[in-house]
Amino acid sequence: MAADFFDMCDISEREANIELNKDPEVRKEKLKVAEEAAEFWRSIAPVGDPKKDPHSGQYKDSIKVIEGKRGGIAVGAMAPNAWFVEYGTNNIGEKACRARTEAVFKKKYGREAPKEGGSE
DSSP state of 2: P
Is the residue at 119 inside a domain? Answer: no
What is the residue range of 96's domain?
12-109
Identify which has the larger pLDDT, 116 or 96: 96
Q: Give the pLDDT of residue 119.
A: 44
Is the residue at 70 inside a domain? Answer: yes
Is the residue at 32 inside a domain? Answer: yes
Is the residue at 114 inside a domain? Answer: no
Is the residue at 18 inside a domain? Answer: yes
Confidence band for 16, pLDDT divided at 50, 70 and 90: confident
Predicted structure pTM score? 0.75
Is the residue at 116 inside a domain? Answer: no
Task: Note the pLDDT tens digit of each residue in 77-103.
Answer: 999 989 988 998 887 788 899 999 999
Is 113:101 a contact under the CB 8 Å cutoff?
Answer: no
Q: Give the pLDDT of residue 90.
A: 81
Task: Note the pLDDT tens digit of each residue in 36-82.
Answer: 999 999 999 998 888 988 778 899 999 999 988 777 899 999 999 89
Is 3:24 a contact under the CB 8 Å cutoff?
Answer: no
If one counts the domains in the chain, the total is 1
Containing H/E element for 74?
strand 73-77
